[in-house]
Amino acid sequence: MHRILVADDVEINREILHDMLMEDYIVETAEDGTQAIQKLQEYRGGIAALLLDLQMPNTDGYAVLNWMNDQKWINIIPVLIISSERAVEVENYCFEMGVSDFIHKPFNSSIVKKRVDNIVELFTRKNAMAQTIAKQTRALEEQRQIIRLHTRQLRDTKIFNDLMMQYRSAIMVIEAKLKVLYEEFAQEYNRNPFESIKSRLKSPESIYEKLNRKGYPITVESIREYLTDVAGVRVICSFPDDIYRLADLVVQSNDIILVQKKDYIKDPKSNGYRSLHLILDVPIFLSIGKEYVKVEMQFRTIAMDFWASLEHKLRYKKDVENTEEIERQLKVCADSIDVLDYQMMQIRNRIDKTNTALLVRDL
């Protein structure tokens, strides 16, 4: 049974509220603000609600509210003001100080019970949720400390650094191939096959978290065997057909092996995400011989990349309301972007066809 505290200098008010609430609560009473603070200190977190009169001798209700704010207790113990005062200014001031509700005199038994019940239930759930969040936060921080410890140990080992060097080298191999293709297209076709290249190497923290999440041992062997996205290269193209042309040229290289292909352009994800993903075994040539290292390549148009970047930022924003509607709108935008990509490609094809016809005529 929850314990509540009634603080009022008028004995008859204390008795009335005691009798109204005694069947559902353990009711403590205080004659003034000083006694109320003493009771709050005595029971600390054991008070489920405080029914507080504002006008009391010695220490009044306002002083109690100030004290509770100083102690940060106003956030965990709901306060219902007992008052015959109905001035808007008074009520607004009390709400600004953290008061949850008002119980006006003369008391109505049904209203008093419902207001107290509602506030107690609300704060009980709120406090329980806060405790759960605090517990989860502590657990996450402990997990982060473990991750930081293990990643420091991992980062300091020569075998791990050697592997990261191999992944960096594989990225350089892919970038070199793409730059050669860029130069060839610029020379032969007077156009560029892609707009930009973005590359990244997964951090030791991310590597540890992914291995741990998937239940794999935290070893260099696990990284090499189970993770395919430690080294990543993203290629941003102007048009959809450039994506497939460029991807085919990369895969057709004699020394590169296609491990896996996922075409989210022809078969988009449910949220509208579009991109072409390739997992490649890329050869690197070391002093000890040739090694194959996995690289993940992503191919997107400028519009696809714009959508994916914004969707990623919005997805990790906190306290976002109407998430289902936002997801629906993002899906609509993704579909619109897809239509736009192909419309722009058709315009380019029409321009190219016109230019070719003019060139033939001039010849």
- Go through the domains of the chain in sequence order and give each one's CATH number: 3-131 (3.40.50.2300), 158-347 (3.30.460.10)
Q: How crowded is the C-beta side of 260, counted as CA atoms within 13 Å?
A: 11
CA 103/CA 80 separation, integer angstroms: 6
Token pair 């314990």 is found at: 3
Please give the model's pTM, rounded to 2 decimal places.
Answer: 0.60
CA 202/CA 139 separation, integer angstroms: 24
Count of CB atoms within 10 A of residue 241's CB? 14
- Residue by residue, pLDDT tens for the chain (363 residues) are 899 999 999 999 999 999 999 999 999 999 999 999 999 999 877 899 999 999 998 899 999 999 999 999 998 899 999 988 778 888 999 999 999 999 988 899 999 999 999 999 998 888 888 888 888 888 877 777 766 767 777 777 888 899 999 999 999 999 999 999 999 888 887 778 899 999 999 998 889 889 888 999 888 899 999 999 999 999 999 999 999 999 999 999 888 999 999 999 999 999 999 999 999 999 999 988 899 999 999 999 999 999 998 888 777 666 667 778 888 898 999 999 999 999 999 998 888 787 665 655 555
Strand 26-30 with 257-263, pairing: unpaired
Label residue 175 exposed, middle or buried (CB < 10 Å: 0-12, 13-18, 19+).
middle
CA 50/CA 94 separation, integer angstroms: 14
> What are the backbone angles phi and psi of residue 78, rounded to the nearest 5°?
-70, 145
3-state secondary structure of 79: strand
CA 170/CA 250 separation, integer angstroms: 13
pLDDT score for 361: 58
Amino acid identity, position 106: P
Those residues with Cβ within 8 angstroms of residue 114's Cβ, 6 or more apart along the chain or in another chain:
none
pLDDT score for 64: 94
CA 361/CA 79 separation, integer angstroms: 88
3-state secondary structure of 107: coil
Which residues make beta-bridge pairs with 261?
Answer: 278
